[in-house]
Every structure is written in structure tokens, then in C-alpha cells.
Structure 1
Amino acid sequence: MTLQVCIMTPDRIFWNDQADEIILPTNTGQMGVLTNHAPLITALDIGVTLIRSNNNWIPVALLGGFALVKENQVTILVNEAESAQTIQVDEAEKAFEEAKTRLEESQGEKQRVEATFVFKRARARYQVVKQLSI
């Protein structure tokens, strides 16, 4: 038995396929989902979700949203989703380094919140392309 995983963004269905396991980036840490998982709804943080299908791990950068797990179906609603195939490695590395610097240099509450968002997004994209090369 497998999970039916559907990742939806505001403008498209990003992923809709079977999976053996999925690891979600929740607001309280990573959460694994296998078949027959208890029903739940959880908020998702900006981060990497890992989808295991046919013994292959597929990394996907998710930019915040929600996940519903019910009856071996995982429905993920996110603002944005990106796979490693659509991300340039050099661009992702440069954006990550710039975001890290911006976060370290941020001053004041508003600037820190904005820098944290940019940093999390850049880190997720960088982690996705790095995992593909492993």
C-alpha cells in the first residue's frame, strides 16, 4: 500500500503521484508520514520535503502552507514549490550566501523578519539542489 501525494500551489498541481513515504517541514520540526498514518492537519514551514518513491528520495522546496493527511492521502497546499530540476545550482548557492549575510546584518524587528523569510527560502532551494547531487 502507498500514499497518494498531491502538492498544489495557487497556480498549478505541482506533484500528484504515489509515494512510499514523505517527510514534511512542519513548524515544529520534520514529520514523517507512512501508510496508515493517523489523520491530521499541520502547518508547513519554509523548507524541504522529501518524497520516497521506488526507493528514490525526491527533494522539493516548499514555501509555507498546510498539509492534510487522511486515509493514505497527503494533500499539501503551499504558496510555492520547486524541484531541483528548475533551480540553478550557482544561483541557489549565491542567493543562500547573500541571504545569510543579510540575516546576520539585519537590524530591528521588521528587517530581521524579512531577512529570515528570505534566508529560509534560499536555504530550502540550496538544500534541494545539493541533495540532488549527493
Structure 2
Amino acid sequence: MTLNLCVLTLNRIVWDSEVKEIILSTNSGQIGVLPNHAPAATAVDIGILRIRLNGQWFKMALMGGFARIGNNKITILVNDVEKGSDIDPQEA
């Protein structure tokens, strides 16, 4: 079983596909979301979003926003986002 994850900013869709699990930084701590998670809405803190897909973990840096979870769908609207693969360690 999977979840549909959509991560977006006001200007673009960053991620829109099925995933197995996510770990999200919220204003009250980190939460893990698996299929059939209870419906929830939460503020998203500045932090790392971890996404498990096909046995691998992907990371994104989120710059705050909001998330809605329900019916095996997660929608995350953020102020800004950087994919882990796009972050230059020297620049950071």
C-alpha cells in the first residue's frame, strides 16, 4: 500500500507521486506517516522531509508551511524547498 505525496510551493510542484512513508518536521516535533494514517492538518517547521520510495530514502529541506493528511494522500504547501540532490555542500 502507498501514499500519494504532493509537495508544492506557490510557484511549482516539487514532488507528486506515490511513496511508502514520510517523516515530516512539524511545529510539535517529527511525525511519521504510513498508509491509513489518521486524518490530520499541521504546521510544517523548517527542517528535513524524508521520503521512502522503492527501498531508498530521499530528503528535502522544507522552509515552513502546512500539511494535510487524509485518505492516503499528503499535501504539503511550503514557503520554499530544496531537494537534497540540489544542495551544494560547499555553498551550504
TM-score normalised by the chain length of structure 2: 0.97
Cα distance, 1:33 vs structure 2: 0.3
The C-alpha deviation readout for 1:97-134, integer Å capped at 9, x for no partner, is xxxxxxxxxxxxxxxxxxxxxxxxxxxxxxxxxxxxxx
Greater percentage in strand:
2
Q: Return the structure number with greater relative CO, CA threshold 8 A, min gap 6.
A: 2
For the pair shown, which has the larger CA radius of gyration, 1 or 2? 1
* Structure 1 segments of 4+ aligned residues over 3 angstroms from their partners: none
Q: Which residue of 1 aligns with 2:73?
A: 73
Cα distance, 1:24 vs structure 2: 0.5
For structure 1, the 5+ residue unaligned runs are 93-134
Q: Which residue of 2 aligns with 1:61?
A: 61
Greater percentage in helix:
1
TM-score normalised by the chain length of structure 1: 0.67
Letter in 2 for 1:20: K
Q: Does 1:52 align with 2:58?
A: no
The aligned length equals: 92
Q: Does 1:13 align with 2:13?
A: yes
Cα distance, 1:85 vs structure 2: 2.2
For structure 2, the 5+ residue unaligned runs are none
Alignment partners' CA distance in 2, 1:53 and 1:8:
18
Aligned-CA RMSD value: 0.6
Q: Which residue of 2 aligns with 1:108?
A: none
